[in-house]
Structure 1
Amino acid sequence: MDLLPDVWRQDYWLPPGVTWKDMEQLADSDRPKPQDLLLALPLALGFVALRFLFERFVAPPMGRCFGVRNRLQMTAAPSPKLESFYTQQSRQPTQSEIISLMSLCGKTQRQIETWFRLRRNQDRPCHTKKFGESAWRFFFYLAAFLAGLACLIDRPWFWDHRECWKHYPVQPMERVHYWYYMLELGFYCSLLLRISVDIKRKDFKEQVIHHFATIFLLSFSYCANYIRIGTLVMLLHDSSDILLESAKMFNYGTGWRKTCDTLFIVFAVVFLVTRLVIFPTKIIHTTLVLSMEVFEPFAGYYFFNVLLMVLQALHIFWAVLILRMAYKFLFLGKLDKDERSDEESEAEEDEKDKGEEDRNDAGDYCWERSKDTLNSKLSMLTNSCVLNNFSNHRASVADRMRKAQ
């Protein structure tokens, strides 16, 4: 029972020498209160419902305009035993499991491997679903970025980051920044609610960490009245996410390859500049160094900066993937996959299996052709030998008959 009051100890949330009574100098409407965060839950549910309507009624006609077409997929033949193993045990059986399935189902190893590959392909999300997710994120990030830019561009701390800490923490909160915070927090909560049913991508674990870190960062910065620096962090992140989602939208369509490649290059430049240059040199430098000109370190100061460091570590992880993509595009002349998050976790392995199967098919086909050619040549050689022997035999008999005469 005593734990909850300890959580709100002023030395956890406020700089030394500042008390909660000092915060009461602000009017209730101008002061961030922890109970305000409860609004994020209904907003998150509202975003989930709005997204359902968007992906149901808006995204499909948009996808048709972009030329989005789903790939034709072969379905696996019905097999109750293999289906039971697939759903209850593993989607990718080991070699020993394949051997046991061979005796159980009376199929060859090749047939079982092909069945599992086709069955995994059936569970792959179609391009229409991928396009709907990217379009939803694109429109939110675009709206959030434009709204954030409109409410920050004329504020002094947008240009001079020392203004973020002027009179901190007794800083009045504007209503427009309150709603900016709540909508961003509600959106990321909705992503976390939907993450189990969304497309599972290659950086799934990193996405979960990112969502949790963002939610904790927004919640703590709101309660500790880090509103000014928090709005700058949100605006900076939304700027590059717009380009990423737009590049994905064009990638799923047909006939937009050059547009997709151009957007990806622009996104890569913006991402690397904002996340690896501006974020550490401006945002983190502001919270670590410039804030010390106003107050001494306290628990909230360390916690806030640790969360920023977690985000920076994720930025470096994604930057490595993006640089790999840029290398392939600039030096190899191809841009086949989205290394950052667009490729599903099993795609590469299944493509490898498919490639091996195709090579086996090609090998079998070449062997059959070689065998047929060899048989044909042997047949021709045999016929030739028989004909030659027969001709020689006839010539020999005719010669003996002439001598006898």
Structure 2
Amino acid sequence: MLQTVSEWLWWDHLWLPANVSWSDLEDSEGRVYAKASQLYAVLPCALCMLLVRYLFESYLASPLADVCGVRNRIRVTAQPNSILENYFCSKTRVPSQADVRSLCKKTSWPERKVQVWFRRRRNQDRPALRKRFCEASWRCVFYFFAFVYGVLALHDKPWFYNLKEVWKGFPKQSMLPSQYWYYLLEMGFYLSLLFSLTFDVKRKDFREQVIHHIATLTLLSFSWISNYIRIGTLVMVLHDSTDILLEGAKVLNYAKWHLTANVMFAVFTILFMLTRLVIFPFWLIHCTWVYPVEDFAPFFGYYFFNVMLSVLQVLHFYWAVLISRMFYKCIFSKLEGDDRSDEEEDDTDSSRERNHKSSHIHSSGARGRANGH
């Protein structure tokens, strides 16, 4: 049965154009082709990435945070209460007004005290500012070096300037050492991000992030096996070009260099819209949809690859909306971090209550002075 499943899984017509078989992609005459077995190296690479990230955040990003004056906000710990803790863990972190009144009866606490308890308890589970700074620093550094490596690997290749060259001789295109290492590093990085999603800063687009990482790894794996490597490297370098600026803007914003962060974020927004909403769909996806059929008939792999690219494009539209909101804040107020983040709440008295207390104190003082005190 396993042999039958393997034969179906590696059926030539699923992965390769008509009249091409796996035997045609065996190393010969100086040509070296990508092999599925080489993808096993991605797992140890991802584990190494996690180790490098830990060392980077501990010995480089953390001291940099000290230099930049990035300090964690002092948090008030929620007062121990077994009733509220059980409700927080088993039911909801954000109770409705009716739930608050019900909890007031069970705990004999006033509504305001219960509401403050839940805010403080939610803040305890949120990542601190230094953690966000270190994470953004790591991603910024990786994207920078990945982008530089990608440009160096592609700048002298004809398909970098003429997209029709992507399909010249496909699929019998020899794999280059630079392509192998570029793929290995990128796939190891995204797999490490998938592993670390549970303890990284949790954002509002958590599910979209999971979909993105899985789609990216699936896309890169398929493009590796089916020898779509040329277009794969172009997709990677295009994405890395904008991610550097986003993570860099976050780092500067956490360090309270707001003006510089806003400028960098504005540049990022323009570049994101250009690369993800114009170049990616109208150049790269057009290249994968239109040019291949000029040389061979569509096959399953052709459709699968383009569907995965379309999934990424849908995510680009989703993030374009979030980025537009952040850009609006950047222009009309100031950039307060990542709009996708679960931001820390103010666990003190509300401004209305503070004003009320202040006016009460002033009025009391006035009455006191009037009475001769």
Is the shorter-chain TM-score for this pair beyond 0.5, marking a shared fold? yes
2: CA distance, partners of 1:104 / 1:28: 78
Counting only pairs closer than 5 Å after superposition, residues 5-404 of structure 1 correspond to structure 2 as 5-24=7-26, 26=28, 30-254=32-256, 256-330=257-331, 332-339=332-339, 341=340, 343-344=341-342, 347=344, 350=345, 357-366=350-359, 369=362
1: CA distance, partners of 2:29 / 2:37: 16
SS of the counterpart of 1:30?
coil
1:86 shift after superposition? 2.5
1:160 shift after superposition? 0.8
2: CA distance, partners of 1:45 / 1:35: 18
State, as a whole percentage, how many aligned pairs show the same letter.
46
User: Structure 1 or 2: larger helix share?
Assistant: 1
Moved more, 112-121 or 208-217: 112-121
TM-score by length of 2: 0.92
Query: What letter matches 1:363 in structure 2?
Result: H
Q: What's the CA shift string for 1:25-70, capped at 9, x where partnerless?
A: 6469711111111110111111111111222222111112222111
Q: Structure 1: where are the runs of 5+ without partners?
A: 381-405
2: CA distance, partners of 1:60 / 1:372: 48
Instruction: Answer whether contact 1:74 1:118 (CA < 8 A) is retained.
Output: yes
2: CA distance, partners of 1:117 / 1:29: 62
Instruction: Answer whether contact 2:258 2:334 (CA < 8 A) is retained.
Output: no
Query: What letter matches 2:282 in structure 1?
Result: T
Moved more, 172-181 or 93-102: 93-102
Query: What letter matches 1:82 in structure 2?
Result: L
CA 1:170–1:120 in 2, change beyond 3 Å: closer, same or farther? same
Instruction: Answer whether contact 1:75 1:119 (CA < 8 A) is retained.
Output: yes
2: CA distance, partners of 1:193 / 1:325: 27
Query: What letter matches 1:360 in structure 2?
Result: E
1: CA distance, partners of 2:335 / 2:56: 29
2: CA distance, partners of 1:204 / 1:30: 39
SS of the counterpart of 2:325?
helix
Counterpart position of 1:383: none
2: CA distance, partners of 1:318 / 1:151: 28
Q: What's the CA shift string for 1:78-118, capped at 9, x where partnerless?
A: 32332333234332223343233222222111111111111
Query: What letter matches 1:321 in structure 2?
Result: L
1:264 shift after superposition? 0.5
Instruction: Answer whether contact 2:253 2:336 (CA < 8 A) is retained.
Output: no
1:364 shift after superposition? 4.8
Counterpart position of 1:384: none
Query: What letter matches 2:321 in structure 1?
Result: V
Moved more, 261-270 or 231-240: 261-270
Structure 1 runs, 4 residues or longer, greater than 6 Å off: 374-377
Query: What letter matches 2:356 in structure 1?
Result: G
1:333 shift after superposition? 4.2
2: CA distance, partners of 1:157 / 1:7: 30
2: CA distance, partners of 1:70 / 1:321: 26
1:368 shift after superposition? 6.1
Instruction: Answer whether contact 2:253 2:335 (CA < 8 A) is retained.
Output: no
2: CA distance, partners of 1:139 / 1:127: 18
Moved more, 261-270 or 214-223: 261-270
1: CA distance, partners of 2:73 / 2:156: 48
1:268 shift after superposition? 0.8
Instruction: Answer whether contact 1:14 1:300 (CA < 8 A) is retained.
Output: yes
1:259 shift after superposition? 1.0
1:278 shift after superposition? 0.9
1: CA distance, partners of 2:348 / 2:309: 42
Query: What letter matches 1:257 in structure 2?
Result: H
2: CA distance, partners of 1:82 / 1:106: 12
TM-score by length of 1: 0.85
2: CA distance, partners of 1:85 / 1:322: 35
Flag the structure with larger Rg.
Answer: 1
Instruction: Answer whether contact 2:61 2:137 (CA < 8 A) is retained.
Output: yes
Instruction: Answer whether contact 2:254 2:337 (CA < 8 A) is retained.
Output: no
1: CA distance, partners of 2:293 / 2:215: 24
Q: In the comparison of the two structures, how many residue pairs are matched? A: 370
CA 1:74–1:163 in 2, change beyond 3 Å: closer, same or farther? same
Calculate the aligned-residue CA RMSD, in Å.
2.2
Instruction: Answer whether contact 1:77 1:115 (CA < 8 A) is retained.
Output: yes
CA 1:338–1:25 in 2, change beyond 3 Å: closer, same or farther? closer
Moved more, 364-373 or 267-276: 364-373
SS of the counterpart of 2:93?
coil
2: CA distance, partners of 1:370 / 1:159: 74
